[in-house]
Amino acid sequence: MRAEHRVISRRGFLALSAGATAAGLSACSTTERPAAPVRIGPRSPQVAAAERARRGANVRTTAVKLEATEHAVDLGGTQVITWTYGGELPGKEIRVKRGDVLKAELTNALRRPTTIHWHGVALRNDMDGVPVVTQTEVEGGGRFTYEFAVPDAGTYWFHPHVGTQLDTGLYAPLIVEDPDDGYDYDTELVVVLDDWLDGLGRDPDAVLADLRTNGMPMGHEGMPGMGGMPKSELLGGDVGDVTYKHMLANGRTAAAPRTFAAKPGQRVRLRLINAGADTAFRVGVPGVRMTVTHTDGFPVVPRMADTVLLGMGERVDAIITVPNTTVPLLALAEGRDSYAQVIIQSGRPVAAAASGPAAKQLANLSALTVGDVEAAEPVRLPDRTPDVMHRLVLEGPGEKYDWTINGKAYNPEDGLPVRQGQRVRLRFENKSQMFHPMHLHGHTFQVAGRRGARKDTVLVLPGTAVDVDFDADNPGQWLTHCHNVYHGEAGMMTVVSYEE
Ligand code: C2O
Ligand code: CU
Q: For residues 435 and 236, what is the distance between their CA atoms, to the nearest angstrom?
A: 7
Same domain (yes/no): 314, 165:
no
Same domain (yes/no): 193, 141:
no
Residue 212 lies in a domain: no
Instruction: Classify residue 195 as left (phi > 0), alpha (psi -120 to 50) or beta.
Output: beta
Ligand 1 site, residue 441, Cβ cutoff 6 A: yes
Q: What is the pLDDT of residue 33?
A: 66
Residue 250 lies in a domain: yes
Residue 482 lies in a domain: yes
Nearest to 331 by CA among 446, 263, 270, 254: 254
Q: What is the pLDDT of residue 467?
A: 98
Q: Which of 372, 394, 427 is the last residue of a domain?
A: 372
Ligand 1 atom with the shortest distance to the CA of 157: 1
Ligand 1 site, residue 161, Cβ cutoff 6 A: yes
Nearest to 123 by CA among 148, 144, 103, 98: 148
Ligand nearest to the CA of 171: 1
Q: For residues 293 and 222, what is the distance between their CA atoms, to the nearest angstrom?
A: 41
Residue 220 lies in a domain: no
Residue 256 sits at the vertex; the CA angle it makes with 255 and 262, to the nearest 5 degrees, is 115
Q: Which of 346, 372, 398 is the last residue of a domain?
A: 372
Q: For residues 362 and 289, what is the distance between their CA atoms, to the nearest angstrom?
A: 12
Q: For residues 143 and 137, what is the distance between their CA atoms, to the nearest angstrom?
A: 10
Q: What is the pLDDT of residue 13?
A: 39
Rg (CA), the chain: 22
Same domain (yes/no): 99, 193:
no
Ligand 1 atom with the shortest distance to the CA of 161: 2
Residue 233 lies in a domain: no
Same domain (yes/no): 269, 134:
no
Gap from CA of 186 to ligand 1 centroid (Å):
31
Gap from CA of 251 to ligand 1 centroid (Å):
20
Q: For residues 147 and 150, what is the distance between their CA atoms, to the nearest angstrom?
A: 10
Gap from CA of 407 to ligand 2 centroid (Å):
14
Same domain (yes/no): 101, 193:
no
Classify 438 as helix, strand or coil.
strand
Ligand 1 site, residue 313, Cβ cutoff 6 A: yes
Half-sphere exposure of 477 (CA within 13 A, CB side): 29
Q: Give nearest CA residue, ligand 1 atom 1.
A: 119
Ligand 1 site, residue 117, Cβ cutoff 6 A: yes
Same domain (yes/no): 368, 383:
no
Ligand 1 site, residue 119, Cβ cutoff 6 A: yes
Ligand 1 atom with the shortest distance to the CA of 313: 1
Are 79 and 73 in contact by the 8 Å Cβ rule? The answer is yes
Q: What is the pLDDT of residue 162?
A: 98
Same domain (yes/no): 440, 426:
yes
Ligand 1 site, residue 481, Cβ cutoff 6 A: yes
Same domain (yes/no): 412, 487:
yes
Residue 237 lies in a domain: no
Same domain (yes/no): 367, 431:
no
Gap from CA of 239 to ligand 2 centroid (Å):
11
Q: For residues 99 and 109, what is the distance between their CA atoms, to the nearest angstrom?
A: 30
Q: Which CATH number belongs to the domain containing residue 167 in this structure? A: 2.60.40.420
Ligand 1 atom with the shortest distance to the CA of 488: 2
Ligand 1 site, residue 496, Cβ cutoff 6 A: no
Residue 3 lies in a domain: no
Q: Which of 343, 372, 401 is the last residue of a domain?
A: 372
Q: What is the pLDDT of residue 17?
A: 40
Q: For residues 288 and 317, what is the distance between their CA atoms, to the nearest angstrom?
A: 15
Q: What is the pLDDT of residue 183?
A: 76
If one counts the domains in the chain, the total is 3
Same domain (yes/no): 483, 404:
yes
Gap from CA of 212 to ligand 2 centroid (Å):
15
Are 297 and 211 in contact by the 8 Å Cβ rule? The answer is no
Q: Give nearest CA residue, ligand 1 atom 3.
A: 119
Are 293 and 309 in contact by the 8 Å Cβ rule? The answer is no
Same domain (yes/no): 382, 367:
no
pTM of the model: 0.92
Nearest to 393 by CA among 376, 405, 403: 405
Same domain (yes/no): 158, 253:
no
Q: What is the pLDDT of residue 27?
A: 43
Are 16 and 41 in contact by the 8 Å Cβ rule? The answer is yes
Q: For residues 143 and 149, what is the distance between their CA atoms, to the nearest angstrom?
A: 20
314, 447, 454, 469, 494 from 450: Cα distances, Å: 21, 9, 12, 12, 27
10 Å CB burial of residue 205 (0-12, 13-18, 19+) is middle
10-residue mean pLDDT profile of the chain (500 residues): values are 35 39 42 78 98 91 98 97 98 97 98 98 98 98 98 98 98 96 91 98 94 69 54 95 96 98 98 98 97 97 98 98 97 96 95 93 94 95 96 96 98 97 98 97 94 97 98 98 98 98
Residue 231 lies in a domain: no
Domain holding 145, by residue range, is 10-177
